[in-house]
Amino acid sequence: MPILQVIVLALVQGLTEFLPVSSTAHLYLTSTLLGWNAESLSFDIILHLGTLIAVLVYFFRDWLQIIGQAFGVQLGHDEELKHNRALLWLLAVGSIPVGIAGLLFNKQAEGAWRNEYVMGAMLIGVGILMYIAENAGRRVRDLGSVNFADAVTIGLSQALAVVPGTSRSGITISAGLFRNLTRESAARFSFLLSTPAIAAAALKAMHDLHKEHHLRDLLTFPYLIGIAVSAVTGCAVIAWFLFYLRRSGLRPFVYYRIAFGILVLASAFLKR
């Protein structure tokens, strides 16, 4: 794959994976508009690895504290996390639904569902859901109050993210808002919850690549650049988005999703 294509798609991945706008739709449509072939399995891995590195680096201290507290060791000083020593187990519970959904619907998600009609409809539908969540949630709870019901609700919503155009962060942050979490706390839980799912997807893809005897592709210069670009961009986006959510809401992303979804559907109908 040409290095320019790698860099452009890695940038798109890093910019859109953690914003509630659907990275899958943006990657698919970027490739379509520029006339590029569908991404290979090895390139799919570098996107996952880049975003996995981003979320692990940014939340490294949080993960240390969460894991330590689960086993009775205090490794951090975040006050919200201190009040929820069961958070590791809640994240584990919340990760189960997306794992099941991935096993059951992976072929559809990578095949029949990966089209402009599905993506456009999900961009608009989840955008409307985000608007409702933004207005319905009371935004009075932080991570210290997250409980089993929250983990199950947000985990079930993450399972819907296997459908292209949904946006993992968009659907899980909305679920958090419906559970009356603050915007920032909903986003933090969303990103923490995404870590096991992204890691599992990367490991599965690496296993599939190993079976095809192409694992060494990941060590080529263009792919290493792609991992770095995706990781650095993703880390910067996480930092900016959490900063933004402390002061503002999701409406700009709602309007963007709906407008983008309409354009995607219009383009699909015009091609008929």
Task: Give the mean model confidence (pLDDT) for residues 219-228.
Answer: 87
What is the model's pLDDT at position 170? 97
What is the model's pLDDT at position 41? 52
Provide the angle, in degrees to the nearest 10, between the axes of the packed helices 183-211 and 221-245: 160
What is the model's pLDDT at position 204? 82
What is the model's pLDDT at position 207? 80
Which residues are CB-neighbours of 246 under 8 A, at least 6 positions away?
A: 183, 184
- Where residue 137 falls among pLDDT bands split at 50, 70, 90? confident
pLDDT over 90 (residue 39): no
- Calpha distance 130→152 (Å, rounded): 19
Joined together, the tokens standing for residue 233 give: 């961009």
Task: Give the mean model confidence (pLDDT) for residues 156-185.
Answer: 97
**36-40, 179-183, 218-222, 231-235: which has the minimum mean pLDDT?**
36-40
What is the model's pLDDT at position 117? 96
What is the model's pLDDT at position 111? 87
Task: Give the mean model confidence (pLDDT) for residues 1-25.
Answer: 92
Amino acid letter, residue 263: L
pLDDT over 90 (residue 66): yes
Which residues are CB-neighbours of 32 under 8 A, at least 6 positions away?
A: none
Count the Cβ atoms, other than its own, within 10 Å of residue 110. 13
pLDDT over 70 (residue 209): yes
What is 9-20 written as a DSSP string? HHHHHHHHTTTT
What is the model's pLDDT at position 219? 76
pLDDT over 80 (residue 214): no
- Prediction pTM value: 0.94
pLDDT over 70 (residue 28): yes
- Where residue 42 falls among pLDDT bands split at 50, 70, 90? low
What is the model's pLDDT at position 40? 61
Provide the angle, in degrees to the nearest 10, between the axes of the packed helices 148-159 and 183-211: 50
Read off the pLDDT of residues 186-204 as tens digits, 9 standing for 90 and up.
Answer: 999 999 999 999 999 888 8
Residue with tokens 């959510």, as numbered in its chain: 245
Joined together, the tokens standing for residue 133 give: 């969540």
Residue extents of the structural domains in the chain: 3-270
Task: Give the mean model confidence (pLDDT) for residues 88-101.
Answer: 97
Q: Is 247 left (phi over 0), alpha (psi -120 to 50) or beta?
A: alpha
What is the model's pLDDT at position 32? 86
Instruction: Give 3-state DSSP helix, strand, coil % of the chain, rounded to 5.
Output: 80, 0, 20
- Calpha distance 57→52 (Å, rounded): 8
What is the model's pLDDT at position 36? 84
Task: Give the mean model confidence (pLDDT) for residues 53-68.
Answer: 96
What is the model's pLDDT at position 201? 85
Which residues are CB-neighbours of 272 under 8 A, at least 6 positions away?
A: none
Amino acid letter, residue 75: L
